[in-house]
Amino acid sequence: MRHIIQNDLRCEVVGLAGDGRSAIEQASDLQPDIILMDISMPDLNGVEATRQILDRLPRVKIIALSMHTSREFVTKMLKAGATGYLLKDCAVDELGDAIRCVLENKIYISPDIAGTLVEDYLRLVDEPSGKPLSKLTPKEREVLQLIAEGKSTKEVAAILNTSISTIETHRQHVMEKLKIHTVAELTKYAIREGLTSLE
């Protein structure tokens, strides 16, 4: 894809990031015009990374890149502020169209999933405010993802640069809000809600 971007589309690749946190850092430093954002990443998933990048850099265009055709993933990315959604299987063929589209301030959705998305648009566009996940703060969602990915409390504290007791408090709040009592149940919930995956 880097070859296509640089040679076929004649765009400059200014940075590469392997996870959501480094994507946020690089976006802040490099301030690119467009970001291709993988949804399933360790430590901080693409949905949360997209939300945080756009909080800091609202003019950046973010195109989601995913193997997921689930309406849940598409909707979450668009609500986070992404202006494009490409399936990895089709990305090579559609990348040029997607970039041109978002640069014209339009939304690009891979044709393979656009039809399904339109069918359920009215049902999905407004996530009920009573849904448990919507009650979590951004920090609590980060903690939930890291716990679901098997990180210990100590590791989560190190990643988020905070104290162990703070993480334990966040975890307690997450469990109370979600009415979940074990890490195994938290993991299942996080996967089901698209915060992380088994990839």
Every domain of the chain and the residues it spans:
2-124, 132-192
| Three state DSSP letters for 68-128 | CCCHHHHHHHHHHCCCEEEECCCHHHHHHHHHHHHHCCCCEECHHHHHHHHHCHHHHCCCC
Angstrom distance (rounded) from CA 7 to CA 92: 13
Angstrom distance (rounded) from CA 96 to CA 158: 39
pLDDT tens series, the chain, 199 aa: 888 888 888 889 999 998 999 999 999 999 999 999 999 888 899 999 999 999 999 999 999 998 888 778 888 899 999 999 998 888 788 999 999 999 999 999 998 888 767 766 655 555 555 567 778 899 999 999 999 999 999 999 999 999 999 999 999 999 999 999 898 898 888 888 888 876 5
* Overall pTM surpassing 0.85 (yes/no): no
CB count within 10 Å of CB 39 equals: 26
15: helix, strand or coil: coil
Tell me the CATH number of domain 2-124, given options 3.40.50.2300, 1.10.540.10, 3.40.50.720, 3.30.420.10: 3.40.50.2300
Supply the CATH classification number for the domain 132-192.
1.10.10.10
* Cβ-proximal residues to 199 (8 Å cutoff; 6+ apart), any chain: 40, 67
Element (H, E) at 61: strand 61-66
State the amino acid at position 29 in one-letter form.
Answer: D
